[in-house]
Structure 1
Amino acid sequence: MGMTMALAGCGATGSSGDVTLKLVAADYGTGPANSSEKYWSALAKDFETRNPGIKVDVDVRSWKTVDADVASMVKRGEAPDIAQIGAYADYVKQDALYSADELLNIPTQANFLTQLSDAGKVNRIQYGLPFVASTRLLFYNEKLFDEAGLSAPKTWADIESDAKALKAEGVTTPFALPLGSEEAQAETMMWLLSGGGGYTETADDSYSIDSAQNVETFKWLQKNLVGDGLTGPVAPGKLDRAAAFTAFNAGKVGMLNGHPTLMQEAEKAGVKVGMVPLPGINGKSKSSMGVADWMMAFKQPGHREAAGKFLDFVFSDKNVLDFVGQYDLLPVTYSANDAMAKDPRYADLSKFQDALPTSQLPPVGKTSWAKVSESIKKNIGKAVEPGVNPSTVLGAIARDAVTAEAAE
């Protein structure tokens, strides 16, 4: 168990007991009352008590700026020891990160859910350490469904017929389809998976954005939801996720794809929520979309051993559950997931947990993904506009992907 730590114990690692680790982390809270600052400060204090001589300087920043802030720090030669942010792959390209096996003890490494640890790999070496996970489900307003005499949809045809029934009942937005710039790459991936496709080929991890399955998925959305006026007054390409969620919480949306935080917000707003896996063409989708945020340790400060000790502590079951339980997220480790499944306090997350083992993450290990994601956000809304050939739009995004790959 101590093999990795022993091998790491050379250089400026802090073994002399005089290390201060700089941690930059994202804030998952909605205000001072539930700021992540409280979690990290308490965890750092506990760690320092158990590890005399190692201090942790906690710096929690808004999600709006934290990725850019860390990038600026690295560029200035002032990289933090550890960052908890949205993406890691660009730093692997810069040879800026320690690998997982240079940091963590073997039990910690082996405890990550396989699909999450795989998503943290570049060239089969893990650099990104999944911090929290989430999956997506189809949400529906139970009150609106009851009034229209509907049950939860199981297929795409059900989604269409339910949306028509909701429209007939006067529901403003029977199905919210946010393909605006805020989070279009996630909404797109959910639909691609439910249509039997995805962003990449399983065999060689190459992009397959304009595959036949993906084109057919967007043709269906264009014709059967958007074309029939079932997606509300705002065009999908102009609709951001935040606006769709706000409308759902106001009782104006019949169905949309959502995550655990929306469940919590809707319940506070008095909306009774039903949740099912996103239906596929003829039944349950082969997989749901998974999402993970990441931790990483930078080589620049040179505190490998101390950083590894801290990260092993971060991924202990108690600390993992303390964080995910506060923000309605999912654990990234097998043992913490088992503990959550057995604890009635987390019963409302069970459907998300059930979807996690078969979930598929975006291709975050590709350093080209950031550019491809931007192209999707900018362009995908056009694919469902009246009179547009979805194949043309997906083909243009696919060409952007080829260009982005070639530039890496």
Structure 2
Amino acid sequence: MTAVLGGCGLTGDSDEVTLRLVAADYGDSKANSSQNYWNELVKSYEAQHPDVHVEVDVYSWNDVDRKVREMVEAGDAPDMAQIGAYSDYADRNLLYRADDVLSIPVQADFVSQLAGAGQVNGVQYGLPFAASTRVLFYNKTLFSEAGVTPPKTWEELAEAAEALDAKGVKYPYALPLGAEEAQAETMQWMLSGGGGYTDDVGTYSVDSPQNVTTFTWLRDELVAKGLTGPVAPGKLNRADAFAAFAKGDVGMLNGHPSLMKMASDKGVKYGMVTTPGAEGESQNTLGVSDWMTAFRENGHQEEIGDFLDFVYSDDNVLDFSREYDLLPVTTSASQVMSTAAEDRNLKTFLDELLLSELYPVGKASWASVSADVKKEIGQAVTPGGSPREVLGRIQATAMRAGSAE
């Protein structure tokens, strides 16, 4: 990884421009680091645009949001940043609008759910870059040995977990509510119980009756009965749960597309079904998008726009999505992927994307609410814990943060 270079703007001849992009790493090794993807893309772009140079610095997801925040606070914002959230920068008027930098065809091509999630007060600032949805993964071998079939309801999920537990499965159901990505597992369960982080008009409703019922059920029917494995859900991170599934130690868990390759590489035979709900298959699933942002600080509006139009061409969107088992964020690339034989394993997730709900990322308060969920939610399912009190505390944080918007 190269260090972020200070300064920006003109370089060499006065007509030349250097753009700086900070991006997140989707790879799990040096061999498939996202730096390799960006190096090839930039090489191709610069060959066609000799007066524009693009420097890309890639950081792990553990560091990239912090790195960009530090750069912005130091008055040294990059021209573009591909990160996990955008609304706090938009709220401070630091970003170009999507229609400031993208051509009309490119902006119009974003998947509608993702384009909507990129808006603040009806104006799009967040450009979706990579997307995924969640389905229930299950270990076919363990299910066969336990004599159970994939569940469609919570009750069936609990019964399957009990049967898996009786067979000595280490994690009958892996419930990762640890600090890494608790907000995802939390929302997936909220949706399956008819709730969510917000109500129909976008007001925070973390402690709604539906959400309290959902986490009470998790506490009593899974955690208290020892069906979630040897690590307390509040201490179990998503990456560790995925790794345990790939080792054959997990009966079932909510997962996104990258788990397919992890499991296949380890020889785990898996299946995927719609997330079970309280009374039947969940009508809503979690959709997640990461975001490209364009900062105003250095100018370069025209050059940024031209480069981003290139980034969002079908070939480049498909190359990235296929390299990292993610979903395309454009309608045209999604249509290609939905019919291509090489992408048949992703079709389940593509279908889910059209019905998915995303985090309330358009709220500037979401970053602090998400952080609070990561810190608190595991306590809701501990034996003797109070879902009502824990969700109530998170709701109070959400309302305080939201009142400033």
Pick the TM interval, shorter chain: over 0.9
Moved more, 57-66 or 134-143: 57-66
Deviation at 1:17, TM superposition (A): 4.1
Match of 1:333 in 2: 330
Deviation at 1:377, TM superposition (A): 0.9
Distance in structure 1 (CA, Å) of the matches to 2:64 and 2:112: 27
Distance in structure 2 (CA, Å) of the matches to 1:173 and 1:132: 30
**Secondary structure in 2 matching 1:280:** coil
Match of 2:137 in 1: 139
Deviation at 1:270, TM superposition (A): 1.0
Conserved in 1, the CA contact under 8 Å of 2:152 and 2:280?
A: yes
Moved more, 260-269 or 321-330: 260-269
> In the TM superposition, what whole-angstrom CA distance separates every residue of 1:70-120 from its partner, at most 9, and x where no partner exists?
111111221111111111111112211000011111111110011101111
TM-score by length of 1: 0.94
> In the TM superposition, what whole-angstrom CA distance separates every residue of 1:324-360 from its partner, at most 9, and x where no partner exists?
1000000001000000111111111111111110111
Amino acid at match of 2:399: V
Match of 1:181 in 2: 179
Distance in structure 1 (CA, Å) of the matches to 2:193 and 2:158: 15
> In the TM superposition, what whole-angstrom CA distance separates every residue of 1:213-238 from its partner, at most 9, and x where no partner exists?
10110111111111222111222112
Q: CA RMSD in A?
A: 1.5
Distance in structure 1 (CA, Å) of the matches to 2:30 and 2:251: 32
**Does 2:385 correspond to 1:388?**
yes
**Does 2:115 correspond to 1:117?**
yes
Conserved in 2, the CA contact under 8 Å of 1:48 and 1:55?
A: yes
Conserved in 1, the CA contact under 8 Å of 2:10 and 2:18?
A: no
Match of 1:267 in 2: 264
**Secondary structure in 2 matching 1:289:** strand
Deviation at 1:13, TM superposition (A): 11
Match of 1:305 in 2: 302
Conserved in 1, the CA contact under 8 Å of 2:178 and 2:233?
A: yes
Deviation at 1:293, TM superposition (A): 0.7
Distance in structure 2 (CA, Å) of the matches to 1:283 and 1:377: 28
* Unpaired segments ≥5 residues, structure 1: 1-11
Distance in structure 2 (CA, Å) of the matches to 1:243 and 1:132: 22
**Does 2:374 correspond to 1:371?**
no
Conserved in 2, the CA contact under 8 Å of 1:13 and 1:305?
A: no
Match of 1:258 among 244, 255, 259: 255
Match of 2:158 in 1: 160
Structure 1 ranges of 4+ moved more than 6 A = none
> In the TM superposition, what whole-angstrom CA distance separates every residue of 1:254-296 from its partner, at most 9, and x where no partner exists?
1111111111111111111111111111111111101111101
Distance in structure 2 (CA, Å) of the matches to 1:321 and 1:136: 20
Distance in structure 2 (CA, Å) of the matches to 1:388 and 1:65: 32
Match of 1:346 among 337, 343, 348: 343
Conserved in 2, the CA contact under 8 Å of 1:44 and 1:56?
A: yes
Match of 2:32 in 1: 34
**Secondary structure in 2 matching 1:360:** strand
Give the alignment of 1:5-404 within 5 angstroms: 17-203=15-201, 205-404=202-401
Match of 1:8 in 2: none
Distance in structure 2 (CA, Å) of the matches to 1:385 and 1:22: 46
Moved more, 190-199 or 164-173: 164-173
Conserved in 2, the CA contact under 8 Å of 1:17 and 1:52?
A: no
> In the TM superposition, what whole-angstrom CA distance separates every residue of 1:172-231 from its partner, at most 9, and x where no partner exists?
21111111112111110000000000000122x110000011011011111111122211
Distance in structure 2 (CA, Å) of the matches to 1:22 and 1:387: 51
> In the TM superposition, what whole-angstrom CA distance separates every residue of 1:31-75 from its partner, at most 9, and x where no partner exists?
221111111111112112222311211222222211111111111
**Secondary structure in 2 matching 1:282:** coil
**Secondary structure in 2 matching 1:193:** helix
Conserved in 2, the CA contact under 8 Å of 1:13 and 1:306?
A: no
Distance 1:302 1:13, change over 3 A: farther
Moved more, 47-56 or 152-161: 47-56
Amino acid at match of 2:384: G
Deviation at 1:388, TM superposition (A): 2.3
**Secondary structure in 2 matching 1:230:** coil
**Secondary structure in 2 matching 1:257:** strand
Conserved in 2, the CA contact under 8 Å of 1:13 and 1:303?
A: no
Distance in structure 2 (CA, Å) of the matches to 1:17 and 1:291: 39
Distance in structure 1 (CA, Å) of the matches to 2:10 and 2:98: 16
Distance in structure 1 (CA, Å) of the matches to 2:200 and 2:101: 29
**Secondary structure in 1 matching 2:289:** strand
Conserved in 2, the CA contact under 8 Å of 1:13 and 1:302?
A: no
> In the TM superposition, what whole-angstrom CA distance separates every residue of 1:156-184 from its partner, at most 9, and x where no partner exists?
11101111111111112111111111211
Aligned-residue identity in percent: 58
Distance in structure 2 (CA, Å) of the matches to 1:338 and 1:212: 39
TM-score by length of 2: 0.95
Distance in structure 1 (CA, Å) of the matches to 2:100 and 2:180: 36
**Secondary structure in 1 matching 2:282:** coil
Conserved in 2, the CA contact under 8 Å of 1:86 and 1:294?
A: yes
The number of residue pairs the alignment matches comes to 395
Deviation at 1:375, TM superposition (A): 1.0
> In the TM superposition, what whole-angstrom CA distance separates every residue of 1:111-142 from its partner, at most 9, and x where no partner exists?
00111011111111000000010011111100
* Unpaired segments ≥5 residues, structure 2: 1-8
Conserved in 2, the CA contact under 8 Å of 1:79 and 1:300?
A: yes
Conserved in 1, the CA contact under 8 Å of 2:86 and 2:126?
A: yes
Distance in structure 2 (CA, Å) of the matches to 1:22 and 1:173: 44
Deviation at 1:369, TM superposition (A): 0.8
